[in-house]
Amino acid sequence: MTTFRNHSAAFLQHIHETGRPLILTVNGKAAAVIQDVEAYQRLLDMAALASAGEGIRQGLADLESGQTHSAAKISGNLRAKHDLLR
């Protein structure tokens, strides 16, 4: 961390040029990761896609295993439970 503090502009330039992250250490152990804004945004985008993909996968698995209900059935159950008229 001390070296980064003393030469932060050069490290930031290197990160910007390479697009690769920099791992900062304290006493030889990883303490933080510094990365370019564009690389960070790509990482966020990939995580969002992975999360959406996992949700879709789970939904399809529920369909295959019969663990789903139609909207009409759920609506009817809610109306009956709360004594609602249509």
Eight-state DSSP code of residue 28: T
**CA atoms of 39 and 26, how far apart (whole Å):** 24
Q: Is 53 exposed, middle or buried (0-12, 13-18, 19+ CB in 10 A)?
A: exposed
Amino acid residing at 9:
A
pTM: 0.55
Tens of pLDDT, residue by residue over 57-83, are 999 999 999 999 989 999 999 999 998
pLDDT in tens, 2-38: 888 899 999 999 998 998 999 999 999 999 999 999 9
83 token code pair: 């004594």
